Amino acid sequence: MSQATPRATPLATPDVRKVADLARLELTESEAVLFAAQIADVLGYVEQLSEVDVTGVEPLMQPLELETALRDDVARAGTPVVDCAPEALDGAYQVPQIL
Amino acid sequence: MMKTIREIHDALDAKKASAVELARDFLTRSKADRRGAYLAFCDEGRVLAQAEKADALLKTEGKVPRERLPLLGVPIAVKDALAVQGVPTTAGSRILEGYLPPYTATSVARLEQAGAVLLGKLNLDEFAMGGSNENSAYGPVEHPTHPGRVPGGSSGGSAVAVRAGLCVASLGSDTGGSVRLPASYCGVVGFKPTYGRVSRYGLIAYASSLDQVGPLASNVSDAAAVLRAMSGHDPMDSTSAPRAGVGAIAAPDWSQVRVGVPKEYFIEARGGLQPEVERSIRDALKWYESRGARLVDVSLPHTRHAVAAYYLIAVSEASSNLSRFDGVRFGKRPPAADGARDLADFYKKVRAAFGPEVKRRIILGTFALSSGYYDAYYKRACQVRRLIQRDFLQAFESCDVIAAPVAPTTAFRQGEKASDPLQMYLNDIYTVPVNLAGLPAVSLPCGEDGEKLPIGLQLIGPQFGDERLLGLARAFEEGRA
């Protein structure tokens, strides 16, 4: 854990603009350049995970590995969530007309 | 100024103060504070109504019913990632500016049911992403005693408020150390429960398999009282452990206590661990030994992969969780969005309100989950996660608690790490393994460095060993007083 961190060549250099597009994020020119460098840095660092022998190791997604809880299909009082919408009409979410 | 639950309850019993007087006093001082700890205050009417109810109950009962209402009249505040019905909740982000939740987080509701008086919402790194509270869209939080230093994050406001006496106890959330780190930097107690011990219902999600709500307080007993009041199964959270809440904490039987010292945390950290931090932890270990505990060398071989695994898993989960911020059902929708070309453009205009660190993590997470890269990044990180959990399971066969630093150094200066995200991430080396494995852990003050900056001792327990962990922490705190 020394402060001089090894920066390996990352497996991939993502096209940050394309990935941002997938996530519905818009980046300015300077953000795209800055983030590309910073993300490459992080990916270079996490590259070390490829050194670990994970043969036969099941991925751990959740530390307790609970079974999904189910409940009876009985109606309960709802929460007035439509009130939180930026725009709502007659109990429905209102969005600009986009075809 | 009263800092502990006991002081408050003794004063209420002796009629030296009323709950209303306390609430007014804490509110006044909190509103005047310039350290940026609070983002919003509950309506004064709401606060006073809670305090008046406490006073009325006190009048009827004669004394505070400490068993039944353990937090009666106690002024608390909560991280602004926790929803409180009708109270502005922003998660430190512009995208939720003006958002008024239609419901209250279970953890907060339970504290109010235990008699607590809720003062307001505390500042945090945006969407809990950060280690210094420099990422809040509403301004940074100042260190409580050392201006110019960061308080730690992401629950910076929660730690500062307690240390500065702006509330008696607070709630934070801990995904990769966000309760423990600010507790360590600010010199207060911060506890992260076993995953699933406290409901996440109403906690704005960052990384669902890692997030936990945790208490911060000036002493272990108070942190334990808050934890007891809010823990236990919640049907509204499908990741809530099917268990009752945390029970009472007991004094340790020293002859049965084995304290594990992970060699990777000390030997391999040389060069990265501040000498005074190491000395302070080792002094703490000597104290445990002096009580009769045995020190045991343990190994956590996958330690050096923890930060890498965390920063793939957390960002991946975050990229999914934050996709709900689309300007349709809640949150801000800027005027520019109305002129959007198409739906994708609409979303982009709404999501421009995210800060840079949030955008970075969403992009990283989206990439790590994307087709062609999922196996090499996210899946592999999850496999390493299992190995990290196994390391702890194995270590706990030969010890009962693991001692560690919370952070490699004491509080750093504002701006010091802000331009190098990776450097910021590496600060989490001692905290993230705990979240990956779903274990309980506590940070408690154990010393100061040459500049009087607080140092935190971290104690880590096995899953559901929260009570025992708290007992060992309280013994240290009382023994070293």
Model confidence over A36-69: pLDDT tens digits? 999 999 999 999 999 999 999 999 999 998 888 8
| pLDDT score at B271 | 62
Concatenated DSSP letters of B222-282? HHHHHHHHHBS--TT-TTS-SSPPP-------GGG-EEEEEHHHHTTTTTTS-HHHHHHHH
- Look up residue B318 and give its two tokens: 């975050």
**ipTM reported for the complex surpasses 0.90:** yes
pTM of the model: 0.96
Q: Is A32 on the interface with B (CB under 8 A)?
A: no
For residue B381, the chain A residue with the least C-alpha distance is A49
CB nearest A39 (choices: B340, B364, B384): B364
pLDDT of B432 over the 70 cut: yes
Alpha helices in B77-167 (DSSP H): 106-113, 156-163
CB B444 within 8 A of CB B454: no
pLDDT of A22 over the 70 cut: yes
| pLDDT score at A9 | 54
Q: What is the mean pLDDT of residues B238-256?
A: 93
Q: What is the mean pLDDT of residues B163-167?
A: 98
Distance CA B122, CA B112 (A): 17
Q: What is the mean pLDDT of residues B188-198?
A: 98
Distance CA B114, CA B105 (A): 14
pLDDT of B430 over the 50 cut: yes
| pLDDT score at A2 | 39
pLDDT bracket for residue A97 (50, 70, 90): confident
Contacts of B300 in chain A (CB under 8 A): none
pLDDT of B362 over the 90 cut: yes
Tell me the percentage of chain B whose pLDDT exceeds 90: 94
Q: What is the mean pLDDT of residues B398-415?
A: 97
Q: Is the dihedral of CA B456, B201, B37, B112 positive or negative?
A: negative
Which residue(s) pair with B192 in the sheet? B441
CB nearest B363 (choices: A39, A61, A84): A39
CB nearest A64 (choices: B100, B196, B380): B196
Q: What is the mean pLDDT of residues B57-62?
A: 97
Q: Is A70 on the interface with B (CB under 8 A)?
A: no
Q: What is the mean pLDDT of residues A18-46?
A: 95
Q: What is the mean pLDDT of chain B?
A: 96
Q: Is A2 on the interface with B (CB under 8 A)?
A: yes
Contacts of A61 in chain B (CB under 8 A): 209, 382
pLDDT of B298 over the 60 cut: yes
Q: Distance (Å) from the C-alpha of residue B384 to the closest C-alpha of chain A?
A: 7
| pLDDT score at B389 | 98
CB B296 within 8 A of CB B399: yes
| pLDDT score at A99 | 62
pLDDT of B138 over the 70 cut: yes
pLDDT of A80 over the 50 cut: yes
What digits encode the pLDDT tens for the residues B197-225?
A: 999 999 999 999 999 999 999 999 999 99
| pLDDT score at A4 | 44
Concatenated DSSP letters of B22-81? HHHHHHHHHHH--S--EEEE--HHHHHHHHHHHHHHHHHHSS--TTT-TTTT-EEEEETT
- Look up residue B69 and give its two tokens: 């209402």
- Look up residue B309 and give its two tokens: 């695994």
**Across B247-251, B324-328, B399-403, least confident range:** B247-251
Q: Of A68 and B226, which is predicted with more confidence?
A: B226
Q: Of A13 and B70, which is predicted with more confidence?
A: B70
pLDDT of B195 over the 80 cut: yes
pLDDT of A1 over the 50 cut: no
Q: What is the mean pLDDT of residues B25-43?
A: 98
pLDDT of B451 over the 70 cut: yes
Contacts of B339 in chain A (CB under 8 A): 96
